[in-house]
Amino acid sequence: MKIVNDTFRRAFRAAALVLMFAGLPLTLFAQVNPHQIAILRWYAGNESSSFPFQNPHAIAFDGANMWVAGINNTLVKMRASDGAVLATFIQPTSALVFDGANMWAANVAPSNTVTKVRASDGQVLGSFKVGTDPLALAFDGANIWVANEGTNNVTKLRATDGQVLGTFSSVIPFPIALAFDGANIWVGGNSNIVVRLRPNDGAFQGLFPAATSNNAVRHMAFDGTNMWIALADRVAELRASDGFLVRTVNLGVNPSRLAFDGLNIWVGTANNFAVFKLRASDGTVVGTFDVGSQAQLLAFDGANVWACLFNNSIAKL
């Protein structure tokens, strides 16, 4: 926890310097949520850029660049500031996560592996066998967690060398969503119930209903205090400390992906051309943005939310 607190303090000091050099009032600093890692967004969302991209189906941010999986097993590194393509690698990918130095790419059957790619130059550092059809990844600060939909389990890999440290039951069927809250790993799948696992040994820590009816989990995002769950017809907010259902938000659409920007939860949808912005403190919809297609995936780069769209493009909001 000391490391996390020191990181926040350094980030806050850096942000204060940015404000001073930019000639902006330090009062802006008071508006920042203390859990916000990237604290550069002080403006309303608008689609600022759009980039053509064939079949974007996984996305992650490495601190400077966006990595996007596309058609023909390509993995593309794009500069976050302007969307310029910096490099293209051949790497089958179903999910991505960044560990602070490397990008990890899950590869579904027949490979059923997770590949470690050095973010600086795209060098493959290793591929590691996991369960069948790995569809979600999470990083806990030391280990990579993998949700294996086909074998109903979760694999823990040591990030330094890819060593398998354990494989644990997902408890719920067909796990396709993972998130880390700083203390526990959360697992979601084909159930209205989410599971909490202890990171050090994978021990089962509880089942928590995110909805009253059978309602599959699509994705999860942590806001520093609570876990947000994208379900088939609503978004649920659970208190991370005990799994208490704080609220549900019915947007009248089918949520597919979530992203947290430090203050707000962004929601992409499977059957609507809008991306919704919810205030994390109370779930109020504070913005709706037409992106021209269904937003299959979302990622935050410290300043903008990126949306991978069904119409073979990427929107930067």
Sequential DSSP letters for 218-242: EEEEE-SSEEEEEESS-EEEEETTT
Encoding tokens for residue 160? Answer: 């330094």
Nearest residue to 113 via CA among 76, 148, 62: 148
Question: CA 113 to CA 285: how far, in whole Å?
Answer: 39
Indicate whether 85 pLDDT > 70. Answer: yes
The pLDDT, as a whole number, for residue 56 is: 97
Q: What's the pLDDT band for 14 if we cut at 50, 70, 90? A: very low
Determine the Cα–Cα distance for residues 47 and 19; give it in Å rounded to an integer: 24
As a CATH number, domain 42-316 is 2.130.10.10
Written as six digits, the tokens of 211 are 């909805």
pLDDT tens digits for range 274-310: 999 999 999 999 999 999 999 999 999 999 999 999 9
pLDDT of residue 46: 55
Structure letter (DSSP) for residue 243: -
Average pLDDT rounded to a whole number, residues 121-129: 98
* Adjacent-strand bridge partners of 288: 276
* Beta strand spans in 48-93 (E): 49-52, 58-61, 65-69, 74-79, 85-90
- pLDDT 10s digits, 155-198: 999 999 999 999 999 999 999 999 999 999 999 999 999 999 99
Mean pLDDT, the chain, integer: 88
User: How far is the C-alpha of 141 from the C-alpha of 61, rounded, in Å?
Assistant: 16
Distance of CA 206 to the CA centre of its chain: 22
The pLDDT of residue 47: 57
Nearest to 195 by CA among 229, 246, 225: 229
pLDDT confidence of 33, banded at 50, 70, 90?
A: very low
The first and second tokens of residue 210, run together, are 């995110």
Q: Is the pLDDT of residue 43 over 50?
A: no
Residue 203: which pLDDT band, with cuts at 50, 70 and 90? very high
Q: Are strands 49-52 and 313-316 parallel, antiparallel or unpaired?
A: antiparallel
